[in-house]
Structure 1
Amino acid sequence: MSTSTQRTMIVTGGSKGIGAAIARAAGGAGFRVAFSYKGDAAGAEQVARDIAAAGGEALTIKADVAREEDVLALFEQVDARFGPPDVLVNNAGGVGPLGRVEAISASALTEVMAVNVVGSFLCCREAVRRMSTRHGGRGGIIVNISSRAAGLGGAGEWVHYAASKGAVDSLTIGLAREVAAEGIRVNAVAPGLIATNLHAVAGAPDRLERLAPSIPMRRPGTAEEVADVVMWLASPASAYVTGAVIPVAGGR
């Protein structure tokens, strides 16, 4: 990994929520930030303006990480603008509809797995091809955004989402061991109940209020608190940490 203060970070799904908080934090820490968005162009432009206002440099790229051609184009645009990335944050994801396993459709299940699992794998693949010393790279860092749902199971709400994040955890552990001797660290952050619009989009705007009593710290977390842990994993302070899945969940 480059020791230059002008390191490059790719954040997928950076136009809102946790991804936007990570992109802003990275820009404030001196990273050149390239982040993708699927449909929220206005949100992406606002995050880019925020980064620029703080003295950073941002590149916004419209991409659906479930599509291989979009992932290839994303990395090629970053190559052309900034060169190979130093850090990849796999944040783009979806929860699908709330409901029990008996009610899920094949199309909804396929969509969640395509974004959360296939998208993460494809982005990791492209990052390793550029970062690995085995391929002539200088090393790097990958941070996958998982979820506490992977460990809790998501019963009654989104077992499909929990299962997809369980796959992300396995990807994290396996890839970390695969590339540890090639200069790449791979870790995951597993947010718990975080105050973003994810819950309302899923059809449960009252979910945070309803489940807050089940959190030992008695409150939902913030996107910025998740971003803080991602930035630690992207820093030399975590130099001996790889293959870890770190919960950011208030004890839940």
Structure 2
Amino acid sequence: MPRPLTLITGGTRGIGAAVARRLAAEGHDLVLGYARDEDAATRMRAAVESLGASCRLVRADLTSDEGIDALFGEAAEAGRLAGVVNNAGATLHIGPLTQTPSDVIRRVIDLNLTSAVLVARRAVAELAEGGVLVNISSGAATTGSPGEYVHYAAAKAGVDALTKGLAIEAADRGIRVVGVAPGTIDTDIHADASDAGRVARVAASHPLGRAGRAEEVAGVVAFALSSDASYVTGTTIRVAGGR
């Protein structure tokens, strides 16, 4: 049986990297998009190749049409996509909305919503019949994240609507669209927004008393892509420790 080919945006760090490792271990070949961290990308390719996967790295700015074209063009050269994990995102800033600069708000919404919609549009056009698109949302989409990143939460709520509507549009081609909404996960996203201590600060408030691990999200993404989830579409699975 041929190995499925899966594209992961933001696939070389954080949740994306954990998903890449999990899928490589489960027999997927990979196309990994990334923004700028060449060292992380090189390490990730070596890691998934050691698990038996073939891997293409594509440096691409997903806030531009050219970047999305480059990413999917490289994927087309590798073969027909069976799955796309629409994962690239960032908060960029933590603080009340009134203290969040306008340019940061625009950048966050552009990356987390506009680019996610455009990647999803291209994914559904490129996926083989029976393929799966997984949109990475956030628990913030329903909590609103007051005092931290309301702008990011608003963008991710849009991703949840994208998952629902696009799943219905794509159903007649046998393509499933599933959302996965992580809560507080211990990755570099917090340090990238200049608040490296956020995980430790908020973890105790979760019902499970801890932050999540990227590998725990990866397991749910792997499920969503698998035949075990063959009747799952148009919904967002929450991985948020009870919040």
Q: Same fold (TM over 0.5)?
A: yes
Whole-Å separation in 2 of the counterparts to 1:74 and 1:105: 30
State the match for 2:182 in structure 1. 191
**Normalised by the size of structure 1, how large is the TM-score?**
0.94
**Does 2:10 align with 1:19?**
no
Letter paired with 1:184: I
Give yes or no for contact 1:150–1:166 (8 Å, CA) kept in 2.
yes
Compute the RMSD of aligned alpha carbons: 1.0
In the alignment, which of 220, 225, 238 is matched to residue 247 of structure 1? 238
How far apart in 2 are the matches of 1:32 and 1:196? Answer: 24
Q: Deviations over 1:137-188 (max 9, x none)?
A: 4231000100000110010010001001001001011101111121110011
Shift of 1:244: 1.1
Q: 1:76 corresponds to which letter in structure 2?
A: G
Indicate whether 1:125 and 2:116 are aligned: no
Can you list the C-alpha shifts for 1:187-232, whole angstroms capped at 9, x where unaligned?
A: 1110001111111221222211111121111111100000000000
Residue 228 of structure 1 pairs with residue 219 of structure 2 = yes
* SS in structure 2 at match of 1:214: coil
Matched, 1:93 2:89: yes
Q: 1:249 and 1:151 mapped to 2: Cα distance?
A: 11
Q: How many residues align?
A: 243
- Partner of 1:111 in structure 2? 107
- 3-state SS of paired residue (2:31): strand
Gaps of 5+ in 2: none
- After superposing on structure 2, the runs of 4+ consecutive aligned residues of structure 1 that deviate more than 6 Å are none
2:25 to 19, 25, 28: 28
Provide structure 1 residue ranges, at least 5 long, that are not aligned to the other structure. Answer: 132-136
The one-letter code matched in structure 2 to 1:143 is: V
Instruction: Note the C-alpha offset of 1:63.
Output: 0.7
Residues 92-122 of structure 1 deviation map (CA, whole Å, 9 limit, x = unaligned): 0010211211122221111111111111111
Preserved CA contact (<8 Å) 1:117 1:168: yes
Percent identical residues: 41
